Amino acid sequence: MNKFFERRYVVTGIFLVIMITLLGRLYYIQIVDDRYTIYANSNVRRVQIQYPSRGPILDRNGKILVQNVPIYDILVNPKDVKPFDTLKFCKLIGIDKEGFEKRMVKAIKYSPNKESIFEKQLPYELYAAFQERLPEFPGFDVLPRTVRTYPDSTAAQFLGFIGEVQDRDIKRSNGYYKSGDYIGVTGVEKFYEQVLRGQRGVKVQMVDSRGIPKGSFANGALDTLPRAGERLTSSLDIDLQKLGEKLMKNKLGSIVAIEPSSGEILCYVSSPTYDPNLMVGRERGNNAAKLYNDPYNPFFIRPIQAYYAPGSSFKPLSALIAIQEGVITPQTTYYCPGYYVAGNRRVPCFHHEVHGEVNLAKAVAESCNGYFDMVFEKLINRNGAKKTDTSFNYWRNNVAKFGLGSRLGLDMPSEGRGNLPKASYYDKVYHKGGWRSSTVISLGIGQGELLATPLQLANIEATIANRGFYYKPHLIKAIGDKQVIKHEYNVKNYVGVDSQYFKPVIDGMQNVVEYGTARASKIPGIIMCGKTGTAQKAVGIDNSVFVAFAPRENPKIAIAVVVEDAGQGGTWAAPIASFIVEQYLRKSISQRPSGITPDYYMNANLLPDLNISLQNMLKERRRDSIRAVRADSIRKVKNDSIKKAAQLKTANNNKSGGLSGLLTSRRTGK
């Protein structure tokens, strides 16, 4: 009996503890913490994302390259939709009845109970008329946003464009992005996405049973304000950029200009280009499809993705390495008979012209292939033929210091490395020990497997302008009020050549413009030092290349111009570069003694015939196939010969007298 009473008190005590706990929790929920009251009222609130404006992008002088304009997305929640005049609705937002039905099916498929985007990017004109009638269309709402606009319709490959996030973007963002959000897809928009996008806000409103807003929920306790993206100040000169794009109209190629004293990129032209405004608005998808299908590929970013043989523009760099290594001096001479003999090969000068006795400066000015083939062989043969690969890799490492064969670290996505071959590559092609300096002699004049991007070519000129160092090229010079973007952009990158050795090379480069292959591009009153290049291709017309810097003392601009399928460097690339240089230094272009004018180059159409280009490509592929077959045949014959010789030697050794016995047997007819 006593045990029964004890058990009753225990059970009663447990119930009392539970009741007190529940009452205490209820008091806390209702009196102390009002969050639960707010959550209980969630069925009468609407959460709306407040999208910030993306940061604007300016040129180096504060001119706007890209800013924002308001647009409006129409949202729908299928469960709240009630019968209405669909024809009037369609007319207001500019769609047809079939389009309306497709959008509703898509919204229901997404979720019959959740809000989703019904129509994107309604311009203000349509939005204003629609907003007045919005109460007539239950279940629909409007979400204000902004999109990009480009006042000058220029620098498309530099700026890039934005687009809707993909599933992979949502995953990578750890939930920051949601379906329907926008993200930088290419160019600066992509590279500086986290800086430009800003921070989203949230606005919570009370709504009645018909979904009509009735004011801020909980006095704005749950609201957060959006924070606009940071302003970017680029290094581009918009006037220079416009001129460059006009000069390269109807041409394939690129212009890159750099300020040597800072590494800031002044001009960044990729041709053909496109109007970046085409990648904005309701027609974006159709416009993008046309651009992607354009056979001249305007989305291809030539300044950092196109690989070109430098041609003769490489010769000053080769000379600098040779002087530094002591294999030549500025006074070293070479007699050019119009060609150079390397092993059993005869390498001609460009037009088989006889340059006669040339020293370094004259060889640069007259672009003598023979002189620089001689220089290259001296570098590669310095340790003897048996150590060709060792000397070659040493040469390669010196070239790499100028930025070839690797990314320069530009603040843009998808920068290419170019191609600077290693000895191991030739070991695979010709087998180890099976190649010599004569095998790769074309590298000495910027041909063969050597490939560079226009950015790398311009950076080499900035290095020569600085007499031995460069700052890493970059396109953004300020974020908001912060002027220094990255520490590495303020670091001098030395290339291992003493400053004293640059004078004879620069003398030659000055003479290129004064009386050499670029004399038609001489700028009155400005000393421009440059080098033409006619980069040969396996098939088709050569690429026109020109690199330069100006003025000679205290250089302000270094430049590289490539015009594809245009022939000699002095004919097209050099004049275009000279106009850019003078425009930057003087803000105007003077009348030239040679008579060349910007209008002539702006109006010229050098776009290659695509049918001929396709035929050339096929010919090149066939030629490569034939070469591969021949190479295999040669290897097979060589291997068979080696095997037969080995077999013969074994057989002869088995005979008395060895080789003497074989000769005797041959003489005796045995």
Q: What is the 3-state secondary structure (H, E, C) of 18-73?
A: HHHHHHHHHHHHHHHCCHHHHHHCHHHEEEEEECCCCCCEECCCCCEEEEEEEEEE
The CA distance from 580 to 570, in Å, is: 15
Q: Is residue 145 part of a domain?
A: yes
What residues are paired with 533 via a beta bridge? 545
Pairwise CA distance, residues 29 & 485, whole Å: 50
Question: Which residue segment(s) compose the domain that 500 sits in?
Answer: 239-278+296-608
74 and 179 share one domain? yes
6 shares a domain with 142: no
Q: Is the dihedral of CA 424, 425, 428, 429 positive or negative?
A: negative
CATH of the domain at 438: 3.40.710.10
pLDDT score recorded for residue 17: 79
- Percent of the chain past pLDDT 90, that is, above it, reads 57
What pLDDT shows up at residue 494?
97
Last residue of one domain, picked from the residues 608, 636, 654: 608
Q: Of 608, 628, 649, which residue sits at a domain end?
A: 608
CA trace torsion 637, 640, 644, 645 (10° rounding): 70
pLDDT of residue 13: 74
Over its C-alpha atoms, the chain yields an Rg (Å, rounded) of: 36
Q: Is the pLDDT of residue 534 over 50?
A: yes
**φ, ψ dihedrals at 572, nearest 5°:** -120, -50
Return d(Cα 316, Cα 467) in angstroms, integer: 12
Write out the two tokens for 291: 């651009």
């070991």: which residue's tokens? 427
Q: Element (H or E) spanning 341, and its range? A: strand 339-342
Dihedral Cα 366, 371, 376, 377, nearest 10 deg: 160
User: At 663, is the secondary structure helix, strand, or coil?
Assistant: helix
Whether 355 and 227 map to the same domain: the answer is no
Q: Residue 645 has what pLDDT?
A: 46
Residues 575 and 470 occupy one common structural domain: yes
Residue 290 lies in a domain: no
In a domain, 39, yes or no: no
Per the prediction, the chain carries an average pLDDT of: 85
Mean pLDDT confidence for 521-527: 96
Which residues lie closer than 8 Å to 287 by C-beta, 6 or more apart? 278, 279
Residues 465 and 572 in one domain: yes
Residue 440 in any domain: the answer is yes
pLDDT value of position 208: 64
The helix/strand count (H/E) of the chain reads as 23, 22
More confident call, 218 vs 254: 254
**Per-residue confidence band for 505, with pLDDT thresholds at 50, 70 and 90:** very high
Amino acid at 74: I
For residue 40, is it within any domain?
no
Q: Is residue 520 part of a domain?
A: yes
Cβ atoms 532, 545 nearer than 8 A: yes
Q: 3-class secondary structure for 523-584?
A: ECCECCEEEEEEECCCCCCCEEEEEEEECCCCCCEEEEEEECCCCCCCCCHHHHHHHHHHHH
- Biggest distance spanned by C-alpha atoms of the chain: 137
Residue 42 has pLDDT above 80, yes or no: no
Same domain, 65 and 131: yes
The whole-number average pLDDT for the span 384-398 is 92
Q: Compute the average pLDDT of residues 156-185.
A: 90
496 assigned to some structural domain: yes
What are residue 378's DSSP bridge partners? none
Give the tokens for residue 236.
């581009």
- What is the predicted pLDDT for the residue at 493? 97
Question: Do residues 584 and 648 share a domain?
Answer: no
**Which one has a higher pLDDT value, 580 or 120?**
580
Q: Which of 179-188, 547-556, 606-615 has the highest mean pLDDT?
A: 547-556
End-to-end CA distance of the chain: 132
Range of weakest confidence among 51-65, 195-209, 462-476, 628-642:
628-642
Burial of 366 (0-12, 13-18, 19+ CB in 10 A): buried
Question: Residues 177, 253: one domain?
Answer: no
Half-sphere exposure of 442 (CA within 13 A, CB side): 16
Percentages helix, strand, coil for the chain, rounded to the nearest 5? 45, 20, 35
The CATH number linked to 120 is: 3.90.1310.10
Q: Please check the confidence at residue 11 and state whether its pLDDT lies above 80.
A: no
The Cα 440–Cα 420 span in angstroms is 12
The total number of structural domains in the chain stands at 4
Determine how many CB atoms are found less than 10 A away from the CB of residue 528.
27
Q: What is the dihedral of CA 96, 97, 101, 107, to 10 degrees?
A: 50
> 499-504, long-range: CB within 8 Å, 24+ apart, which pairs?
499/467, 499/468, 501/320, 501/323, 501/324, 502/320, 502/464, 502/467, 502/468, 503/330, 504/319, 504/323, 504/330, 504/360, 504/361
The residues, any chain, with a CB within 8 Å of residue 399's CB and separated by 6 or more, are: 317, 321, 405, 420
Same domain? For 544 and 584 the reply is yes
Residues 566 and 531 in one domain: yes
Lowest mean pLDDT among 391-400, 481-490, 581-590: 481-490
State the angle between helix axes of 238-247 and 573-586 in degrees (0 to 180), rounded to the nearest 10. 160
pTM of the shown model: 0.82
Pair (117, 53) in one structural domain = yes
Say which residue the tokens 């900035």 belong to: 462
Q: Output the DSSP codes for 190-234.
A: HHTHHHHS-B-EEEEEEE-TT--EEEEGGGGTT-B--BPPPPEEE
What mean pLDDT do residues 1-9 have? Answer: 60
Same domain for 436 and 403: yes
Is 533 a member of any domain? yes
Last residue of a domain, one of 608, 627, 657: 608
